Amino acid sequence: MQLKDERGMMAIGVALTLIVVLSLFGGVLWQYSMFELKRVERTEEDLQALFLARAGAEAVMGAWKKRKAEKVPEQDDYVAPVGHVDTLYFDLDSERDPFTTVKPANYLGTVDVVVTQERVSEEEGQDEVVTVIEATAKVGSTTRTVKLVTYPHRYGHDDPPKWYEESTGYIRYYRENETSEPVTFRLQEPVILRAKDGTSISFDGSILTQMGWRDRSFAFSAPILVFESPLRLVRSAGVVEDSPLGSFDLVLEAEKVYLNDLEVAFLPQGNLSLNLNLQVPKDFSIVLALPLDSDPMAGLSPSQVSEKVGYDVRQGVDEDERYGEVYFGGHVYWRNYEWYRHRLVWAKVRARGGDNPVALKQLDGQAFFFKNGWRLIPEGIHDLGDPAAFNVQEYITESINQGWLIPIPEEHRTGLETIESLRPFFWEQ
C-alpha cells in the first residue's frame, strides 16, 4: 500500500505543534509559579529579618540610652557599646527572654549589630559625633539591614520643630509646638524675640477684648529644653514699644529646663496722656510648666520631690501638683522699660530704658524644682500700675518660701552631660 496523499499527515503535525506549544507554555508557567513561590518565601524571610534587625538595633539603642553596664559594680561610670556587639539569636524554643547570645538548637534567625561613631563638624571649631547603630538580621538565606542614627542635637530651628528662625531668633507661630524629643536652642542671635506680626495690631478696645491678652503667648513643649544661647524675651526698647499690649508669656513646658542667661522685661502702664496705648502695661515673662497634655505623669510627683529635699522643705511641697526641674545657668535679669514723651514731637510717646536691669541673684546658677505653672513675672503686677510698688526680688524670695521654687540639693541635680543619652535616634532604612 502506498500513501501517496500526505495531507492526512497534517493532523499529526498539528498534534506535534500542540506538544511544543503546550510544553513551552506549561514550562514557562511552571517556572513563573516557582519564581512566585520563591518570592513569597523571600518576602516572608525578609519580613522576619526586618523585625529581627529592628529588635537588635532597638536593644543596642537601649544599651546606649541606659549607658550603664551591668556586672561591673566597681565601675558605675556610664559606658555604651561600641563596635561589634555579640550576635543575637532568637530562640524558638524559649518562652522567656528568647533573644540570646548563646546559639540555640532551634532559632529563627540571627542579628549582628555594629555601632560606629562618626565625627562631623557642623560649625568651625566644633566637633560633633554622630552615633550609627547598624543591625543586620539573617533569616534563612535572606539578610536585612536597618540603621539607627543619632544626631548630636535636635535644635529648635531644625525642621521639625522649626520653632524659630535660626538667623534672627524670631519665634515661629507654628501650631506644632510639641515634640517628644529633647530640644536644644542655639541661636546666632542671642535673643528670642516675640513674633513681629504683633506689631501691626493697632490698639482698639474691641480688638483687644476679642483677641485676649494671653493670645500673645507661646509655648515650647518637649521633655527637656536646653537653652545654650541666652534667652532674652525682648531685644530693645523699640521692640517693647511696637509690641502688642498686655502679657507675652513664653511657656516652657518641660520636665527639665536648662537656661543660660535669662532676661525678662516689663513696661508699666503709662500716665503721660490719655493715649489708650499706655493704659495697659506690657510684660514679657517665662512660665515654667509641665507637658501634662501629652503626658499626665510628666515631671515629679510631690512624694518624689519630698524624698529628694530636706526635712524642713517638705512642708512646702504641694500635694496636688507636679514638679519639674529648672537650672538657671548664668544670670537672670529683670529689665524695666518706661514710656516717655518724644522731645520733638510732643504727642509721640516712646519706650526707653532697660539700661540698668535688676539682677535676680537668688536664681543665678541655682537649680529648683518648680511647681507647674510658675510665672517669673506675676500676673498681679498689672493691677499695681506703679512698678515701684513691686519688688521683684521679694517676689522671687516669696516664690521660694511658698514652694513655687524648691531648691534642688546638689546630689539630686541632673547635669547636662548625663542627659546626653536622651538624644533621639532616628531610623534610616
DSSP string across 406-421: EEPPGGG---GGGGGG
Nearer to another protein, 207 or 422 (CB): 422
Nearest distance, CB of residue 49 and another protein, angstroms = 10
Name the amino acid, one letter, at 112.
D
Nearer to another protein, 257 or 351 (CB): 257
Asked whether 272 and 234 are in contact (CB, 8 A), the reply is no
Nearer to another protein, 89 or 369 (CB): 89
Nearer to another protein, 72 or 207 (CB): 72
Nearest distance, CB of residue 309 and another protein, angstroms = 23
- Phi, psi for residue 26 in degrees, rounded to 5: -60, -40
For 319, residues 6+ apart whose C-beta sits below 8 A from its C-beta are: 302
Nearest distance, CB of residue 274 and another protein, angstroms = 56
Nearest distance, CB of residue 16 and another protein, angstroms = 7
Beta bridge partners of 246: 282
How many Å apart are CA 205 and CA 155, to the nearest integer? 39
How many Å apart are CA 357 and CA 364, to the nearest integer? 14
Asked whether 187 and 143 are in contact (CB, 8 A), the reply is no
Nearer to another protein, 100 or 199 (CB): 100
For 54, residues 6+ apart whose C-beta sits below 8 A from its C-beta are: 135, 146
Q: Provide the 8-state DSSP code for 95.
A: S
How many Å apart are CA 52 and CA 136, to the nearest integer? 8
Residue in the structure block whose three cell numbers are 493715649: 275
How many Å apart are CA 310 and CA 297, to the nearest integer? 24
Nearest distance, CB of residue 134 and another protein, angstroms = 13
Nearest distance, CB of residue 181 and another protein, angstroms = 10
How many Å apart are CA 220 and CA 200, to the nearest integer? 24
Bond prior to 378 in cis (omega within 30° of 0): no
Nine-digit cell string for 427: 531610623
Nearer to another protein, 116 or 188 (CB): 116
How many Å apart are CA 286 and CA 265, to the nearest integer? 10
Beta bridge partners of 134: 114, 147
Nearer to another protein, 15 or 345 (CB): 15
Nearest distance, CB of residue 352 and another protein, angstroms = 48
Nearest distance, CB of residue 163 and another protein, angstroms = 21
Please tell me whether residue 279 adopts helix, strand or coil conformation: coil
Nearer to another protein, 25 or 173 (CB): 25
Nearest distance, CB of residue 308 and another protein, angstroms = 19
How many Å apart are CA 24 and CA 258, to the nearest integer? 74
Nearer to another protein, 50 or 309 (CB): 50
